[in-house]
Amino acid sequence: MARKYDVIGLGNAIVDVLAPVDDDFILTHQVVKNAMMLIDEFRAQQLYQAFGDKVEAAGGSVANSMAGLASFGARGKFVGKVKADRLGEAFAESLIANGTDFTTAPASEGPATACCLIAVPPDAQRAMNTFLGASRRLGPDDIVADDIAAANIVYVEGYLCDSEVSLQAAHKAAAIAKQTGTKIAITLSDSFCVGRYRDEFLTFLKDVDVVFANEEEAKSLFEVEDFDDALQRFKAWHGITALTRGAKGCVAVGGGEVHVVDAAAVSQVLDTTGAGDQFAAGFLFGLSTGRTLAECGKLGSLAAAEVISHFGARPDVLLQDLARETGLI
């Protein structure tokens, strides 16, 4: 019997605030390119006020992936915590509008809905500065066993490690998934996050079925200097690994297979925000619909190429139509 959901995603519910900046802004405000740094509410207010023109949109890594999955035509649900405030309402409305179920009860007290201040310099190597706010309140009580059992794949955001109660929620979801035959996927999220919680990620590897990582995250996980060394470690692992390498494309590993997939062509790179999130969306769509690893990699690369060609972390066009035009579905 077909399950209700292709993918259920667990992650931080965050409102993205994106702004184009120059290199002087990067130096003056000491933000780090190509990384996510955790900040407090005061720092978030400082950066928000320093931004010039800005765009606000519902975000968060796995929430972005869920939007991409919906754009492919997949059935999905997101589990994450917002507060009952203006940004929390906007976040929920955004997810539901693109076809993703979202029923997690909002927090009535405590910190505000989370936000991520994303500075986008001319080279498009974004600097993410995240105030986790209410997103850290996601806990085991927010995990509904019937929902996990109704999905082909449960996709867990590595950033949940930054909150002990959210990590407990992730472990609960993974335990239910093992009992019900739901595949478990995880993204390593960020090389700094891997450095903070390496042991936790290595423990997760014993149970998960699919891992998403970029080159730096993979090397950080195994504490190696060379990408090929990290690749060999993943080849010896039991599951499926999707390793992204920017303009070099990706490597999909699993079941004794290794597929090197070129990056999809893109006319211009305006903003790399969400590239990894949309790659995961395409890859998970492929997995949940029974496609080969090579096909999954091509779908991921297609989605990543679309999102880096414009400002923002979610698709501007229907990825389902784009995949049909290119013969991938």
Which pTM was predicted?
0.91
**pLDDT value of position 58:** 79
Cα(292)–Cα(45) distance, integer angstroms? 45
Place of tokens 């211009």: 268
Integer-rounded Cα radius of gyration of the chain? 18
Q: What is the pLDDT of residue 1?
A: 64
Specify the pLDDT at position 267: 87
Paired residues of 327 in beta bridges:
none
What CATH number should be reported for the domain whose range is 5-325?
Answer: 3.40.1190.20
Q: How far apart are CA 38 and CA 151, in angstroms?
A: 31
pLDDT (0 to 100) of residue 207: 92
Can you read off the two tokens belonging to residue 311? 């400002």
What amino acid is encoded at 115 in this protein? C
What is the structure's pLDDT at 270? 86
Please list the ranges in the chain whose pLDDT falls under 50: none
Contacts 24+ apart (CB under 8 A), 217-221: 217/188, 217/189, 217/190, 217/191, 218/188, 218/243, 219/191, 220/191, 220/194, 220/195, 221/188, 221/194
